Amino acid sequence: MAFELLVLAVPALPLLAVILNGLFGNRYSHRVAYWLGCGSVGVSFLFALGIFAEMLATGATREVVAYPWIFGGTLTVNLGFLIDPLTCVMLLVVTGVGFLIHVYSIGYMHGEEGFTRFFTYMNLFMVSMLLLVMGNNYLVLFIGWEGVGLCSYLLIGYYYDRVSAAKAATKAFVVNRIGDAGFLLGIFLVFVNFQTLDYTTVFARAGQLSTGMATTIALCLLVGAIGKSAQIPLYTWLPDAMEGPTPVSALIHAATMVTAGVYMVVRNHVLYDMAPLALSTVAWIGGGTALFAASIGLVQNDIKRVLAYSTVSQLGYMFLACGVGAYAAAIFHLMTHAFFKALLFLSAGSVIHALAGEQDIRHMGGLRAKLPLTHLSFLTGTLAIAGIFPLAGFWSKDEIMAHAFVHGHYALYGLAALGAFLTAFYMFRLTYLTFYGESRVEPHAAGHLHESPWIMMGPLIALATLSVIGGFPGVPPEAGWFHRFLNPVVGTTGPAEAHEGSTGLLPTLMGIATAIALSGWALAHYLYKIRPAAAHELADRTPRMYRTLLNKYYVDEFYDAGVVEPLKRLGAVWDWFDQRVIDGVVRAVGRLTETSAAFSTLFETYIIYGSINIIGYSNHLAARVLRRLQTGMVHHYAAIIVAGLFLLVHLLWVWWTGSSSVGLAAR
């Protein structure tokens, strides 16, 4: 029972904070708001630790049902939570990194308008993300899936008075909708085939599926994952999402939400394992994205955009890992990536904070002396993401590449290796341009330069530590503690299998990976430290390539011209159709009614009212005559009474005697 409460409390606490901050946030100070916001996530993290400890102790997968949500016909859906090792890892990452970023936000968002709103959205995001990773069926997953999409929209558009932010928010939402359509189709197919949406039942019965159906479902789900995790071809929203405040970029668009697609693929690996075609699609999309996004990242000048493309690229690695069957490695990279990418974003946020909102690296440089701690943490993140031994990124990325190589996916390995080289290069380029060389800081910002407050540096230090040591649970590759822990969920690739080829191959691959990372570093060192002019020369010598990269392969323009504009024109056509044809019919019907109403009015006025009035007029005329009888003179009344009396007596006489009184008088 206590365990159930623990599980329920994890999403319930941030939800409580959302309700309080959302409804009453304007009645109390910012201090209360952030205590509620951070506190709830912090306690959730502690509870997640408790769940983790319980999982370590018992190792049992458990399902906790909050309440039956929908039941009717063959459909039964519970608001239920599945607690297994995969969920545990995701819980720890989401609440842990989430908590650090919440704390960081206190400092970063200090004094911003809508401070309470920010924390409300952030907590709502935490609730949705927790539902996403904890749900025990597709529908709860879908609620979380849409919830994080909504929060992403709200937070990208946090500065809603900025047109670019509003546009970026809309773009993110719409692009995600495209993915969600596929995702929903996948869920429908699952229900049609299994008559249930519960993971356990679906995965237990997955064997009944034909390969074709499994492939269809897997591909539909993949469309959703592509949208959410910003893979080719739906990645374009993520770089634009950097319009949001930096903690948002760190939490939602780097560490947690965008990994939802990876989580979903790993969660459904039973289905993917049955569909080799879908699996290789995942792998190729991942590998392609890893290289593609990395190449764009080479030349971008906005510090957050470089990191955004790097995120897209790293997510590509995770997809690649899923595609080659290295699910544990994918989750491992997801975790380490969450650490170092959050670290990089938060450090970048610290830089931006110090420079009063400057994000262009051409206006940075030489910040190492002014921001020593930020520099250190950023450098740690860079080393980690570039894959320098023995930081977190090295272990996870190397494992993915090694797995691809060992299992014979040499082309994918090539993509990943080239991507890794580019990653190392653009990350060190970013570091050099930001922290080394001459200061190109604008004068007005230079005076403002300061190291960020401790409330921001604390999370940086924690994340830097995690980025350094975060890889060790996964050592040795494919057989580490992390893999043993995840084995009950993703245990298709046994450690023994990996060991077969590991005699001399794995160390060699590690050496190659290190060499790749170091050469990327060296190139960046040469171009941006030793000969700063060389980079410009290179750009000048290959102007077309440089411009293509700078303009992100013109993909956005292509989408605009190929999809958005035609859709707008189609919209205009339908608008015309609506206004002319549909509204025309409506107006014609209206006019018909009006005309017939006019006829009815005429008929009523002259025929019906006329006949009624005739009665009235005749009464009136009769009254005019008859009222003469009423003189008001008592004498007249008395005379009439007497006349009546005589008449009555006469009639009575006739009645009784049978002869006329006139006759009597005559007699």
CB of 599 to another protein, least distance (A): 42
- Mark the segment that binds another protein (CB under 8 A) among 41-49, 302-310, 638-646, 651-659: 638-646
Q: Mask: binding to another protein, 92-131, rule CB under 8 A, as x and -? A: ----------------------------------------
Considering only residues 527-566, where is the footprint of another protein by CB under 8 A?
none
CB of 600 to another protein, least distance (A): 39
- CB of 576 or CB of 646, closer to another protein: 646
CB of 613 to another protein, least distance (A): 22
Query: Cβ neighbours of residue 181 under 8 Å, at least 6 residues apart?
Result: 223
- CB of 572 or CB of 639, closer to another protein: 639
Residues in binding contact with another protein, number by CB under 8 A: 10
Dig out the tokens for 25 from the structure. 């946030």
Cβ count near 162 (within 10 Å): 12
- CB of 541 or CB of 628, closer to another protein: 628
Q: Which of 1, 530, 615, 634 binds another protein (CB under 8 A)?
A: 634
Q: Which of 29, 201, 593, 631 binds another protein (CB under 8 A)?
A: 631
- Distance, CA of 249 to CA of 307 (rounded, Å): 9
- For position 625 contacting another protein by CB under 8 A, the verdict is no
- CB of 626 or CB of 666, closer to another protein: 626
Q: Which of 627, 665, 666, 667 binds another protein (CB under 8 A)?
A: 627
- Distance, CA of 220 to CA of 10 (rounded, Å): 30
- Distance, CA of 664 to CA of 660 (rounded, Å): 6
Chain centre to alpha carbon of residue 509: 37
- For position 633 contacting another protein by CB under 8 A, the verdict is yes
- CB of 515 or CB of 649, closer to another protein: 649
Q: Which string of DSSP letters, residue by residue, matches 456-492?
A: HHHHHHHHHHHHHHTTGGG-STTTSHHHHHHHHHHTT
CB of 614 to another protein, least distance (A): 23
Dig out the tokens for 639 from the structure. 């005379």
CB of 623 to another protein, least distance (A): 8
CB of 646 to another protein, least distance (A): 10
- CB of 31 or CB of 635, closer to another protein: 635
Q: Which of 563, 581, 621, 639 binds another protein (CB under 8 A)?
A: 639
Per DSSP, the three-state class of 368 is coil
- C-beta of residue 286 within 8 angstroms of C-beta of residue 232: no
Q: Which of 57, 632, 655, 658 binds another protein (CB under 8 A)?
A: 632
CB of 621 to another protein, least distance (A): 14
The alpha-helical segments, DSSP class H, found in 25-109 are 30-58, 85-108
Q: Which of 1, 630, 656, 658 binds another protein (CB under 8 A)?
A: 630
The alpha-helical segments, DSSP class H, found in 157-230 are 163-194, 199-205, 211-228
CB of 620 to another protein, least distance (A): 13
User: In Å, how far are 30, 186, 226, 653 from 279, measured between CA atoms?
Assistant: 48, 15, 13, 124
Q: Which of 642, 647, 649, 652 binds another protein (CB under 8 A)?
A: 642
Look-up of token digits 């049955």: 274
Q: What is the CA angle 212-491-409, rounded to 5?
A: 65
- For position 27 contacting another protein by CB under 8 A, the verdict is no
- Mark the segment that binds another protein (CB under 8 A) among 202-210, 328-336, 538-546, 625-633: 625-633
Residue 62 host element (H or E): strand 62-72
Chain centre to alpha carbon of residue 477: 32
Q: Is the dihedral of CA 348, 349, 355, 358 positive or negative?
A: positive
Dig out the tokens for 350 from the structure. 């610290």
Residue-wise burial string across 490-513, b where 16 or more C-beta atoms lie within 10 A, e elsewhere: beebebeebeebbeeebeebbebb
- CB of 200 or CB of 661, closer to another protein: 661
- Distance, CA of 633 to CA of 615 (rounded, Å): 31
Residues that bind another protein (CB under 8 A): 627, 630-635, 638-639, 642
